């Protein structure tokens, strides 16, 4: 309940940025993966404690576009 609004605000902030044209598709894919993970965790908060991190795909895509400071810890 506490983390979801913070994560959503960060996703909204990232969506407001304009990445270079050559990265736009990759950034869109990363944001879609992150939003999907957040929606999944919001619907089933216990899923965050499962064996698989729901944000793994989004984290890996963030690393691929150069967002290494926060992606995956």
Q: What are the pLDDT digits (tens) for 5-51?
A: 999 999 999 999 999 999 999 999 999 999 999 999 999 998 888 88
| Per-residue pLDDT, 71 | 52
Tell whether pTM > 0.75: yes
What is the longest distance spanned by two Cα atoms in the chain? 37
């Amino acid at each position: 309940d506490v983390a979801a609004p913070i994560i959503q605000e960060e996703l909204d902030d990232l969506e407001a940025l304009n990445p270079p044209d050559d990265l736009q598709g990759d950034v869109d894919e990363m944001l879609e993966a992150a939003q999907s993970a957040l929606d999944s965790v919001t619907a089933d908060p216990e899923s965050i404690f499962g064996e698989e991190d729901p944000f793994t795909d989004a984290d890996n895509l963030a690393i691929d576009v150069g967002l290494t400071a926060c992606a995956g810890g």
